[in-house]
C-alpha cells in the first residue's frame, strides 16, 4: 500500500487519471478509516497500493495495536468447508475461517485445523501480519526518529538504539510485526532505497539487509515495494510526457520506457 508519503502531487495526478481504479473505503464505518485502494495496470501487469488519504490521520497505524476482540469487530467473518484428511478425520463441518478487514479490504484465512476456534485465532494472527505488510503509513523524513516499535527490531549495532529499547526482538516475537510495519513505512518513504533507510536508522546497508532477510514475508514485501516504486516512477514519466505533449500540441507518442 502506498501512502501520502509517495507525494501529494503524484497522488493528485493518478486520482485524475482515467486509467486508475479507486476502490474501497466502506461507507460510514464505525471506525476511523481513510484508506482507499489504488489499482494500476501497465501492459496487462497490475499492482495494488493501499493508500492513506490523510497524512494527518492519527488512526492509520492503530490497527495492529488493537486487542483481538477490537480487531474482530472491524472484520467480516465467514466460515466454509475445506478439504481435509480422509476417513474418520474428514472435515465435515464448516471449520475453515475467512476474515475480511473492512477498513482496508485485506483478507486472511485459516483452514488447517478442524477446530473453528483455532482457525479463527490463526486467521486473525495472519490478518495482523498482512496489515503490517500491506498497509503503509505516512512518514516524515525531516528530523526522522524511529518509533519505539522499530527500535526494538534493530540490531544492537544501530547507533540509534537506546538503553531503554530493550533486547532485539526477532520474527518469532508477536511484537515483531509492529516494527516490521514501521520499517516498511520508512523504506517506502525513501523510494525503496535500502541504503537511505539504513542511514536514517544509524546502521550499515548490510546490517539492514540482514534484518530484512531474517523474515521471508518481510523480504518479499520489500521486493514488492521496490517494484511498485519503479512502477510509480514509470507512471510519473508517463504523466509528465502526456502533459508535455498536450502543452506543445504535438503528435502523441509512446510512454517512456523504464530505461
Note the pLDDT of residue 179: 95
Domains (range + CATH), the chain: 62-134 (3.30.160.20)
CA neighbours closer than 13 Å in the CB half-sphere of residue 8: 3
* Mean pLDDT in consecutive groups of 10 residues from the start of the chain, 259 residues: 38 36 37 47 49 47 89 94 60 82 94 91 96 92 92 89 82 94 94 94 94 95 83 68 62 49
Q: Kindly list the distances between the CA atom of residue 91 and the CA atoms of 71, 81, 95, 114, in Å, as whole numbers in the listed order.
A: 28, 7, 8, 6
CB atoms within 10 A of CB 132: 24
Note the pLDDT of residue 2: 40
Note the pLDDT of residue 132: 94
- Beta carbons of 33 and 21 less than 8 angstroms apart: no
Distance CA 132, CA 106 (A): 11
Residue corresponding to grid cell 465467514: 78
Exposure of 169 by Cβ count < 10 A (0-12 exposed, 13-18 middle, 19+ buried)?
A: middle
Q: Which three cell numbers stand for residue 47?
A: 499492482
Q: Minimal CA–CA distance to 3: which of 147, 104, 126?
A: 104
Note the pLDDT of residue 239: 66
Amino acid at each position: 500500500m502506498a501512502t501520502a508519503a509517495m507525494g501529494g502531487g503524484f497522488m493528485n495526478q493518478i486520482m485524475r487519471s482515467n486509467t486508475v481504479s479507486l476502490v474501497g473505503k466502506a461507507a460510514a464505518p464505525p471506525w476511523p478509516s481513510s484508506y482507499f485502494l489504488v489499482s494500476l495496470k501497465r501492459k496487462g501487469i497490475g499492482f495494488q497500493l493501499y493508500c492513506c488519504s490523510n497524512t494527518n490521520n492519527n488512526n492509520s497505524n492503530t490497527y495492529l495495536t488493537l486487542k483481538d476482540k477490537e480487531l474482530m469487530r472491524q472484520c467480516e467473518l465467514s466460515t466454509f468447508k475445506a478439504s481435509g484428511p480422509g476417513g474418520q478425520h474428514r472435515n465435515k463441518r464448516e471449520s475453515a475461517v475467512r476474515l475480511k478487514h473492512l477498513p482496508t479490504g485485506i483478507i486472511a484465512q485459516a483452514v488447517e485445523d478442524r477446530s473453528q476456534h483455532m482457525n479463527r485465532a490463526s486467521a486473525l494472527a495472519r490478518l495482523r501480519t498482512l496489515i503490517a505488510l500491506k498497509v503503509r503509513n505516512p512518514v516524515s523524513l525531516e528530523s526522522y526518529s524511529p518509533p519505539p516499535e522499530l527500535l526494538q527490531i534493530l540490531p544492537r549495532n544501530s547507533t540509534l538504539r537506546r538503553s531503554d529499547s530493550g533486547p532485539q526482538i526477532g520474527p518469532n516475537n508477536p511484537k515483531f510485526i509492529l516494527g516490521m510495519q514501521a520499517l516498511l513505512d520508512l523504506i517506502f518513504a525513501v523510494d525503496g532505497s535500502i541504503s537511505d533507510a539504513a542511514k536514517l536508522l544509524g546502521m550499515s546497508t548490510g546490517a539492514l539487509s540482514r534484518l530484512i532477510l531474517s523474515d521471508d514475508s518481510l523480504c518479499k514485501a520489500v521486493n514488492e515495494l521496490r517494484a511498485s516504486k519503479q512502477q510509480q516512477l514509470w507512471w510519473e514519466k508517463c504523466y509528465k510526457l502526456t502533459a508535455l505533449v498536450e502543452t506543445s500540441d504535438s503528435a502523441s507518442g509512446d510512454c517512456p520506457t523504464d530505461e
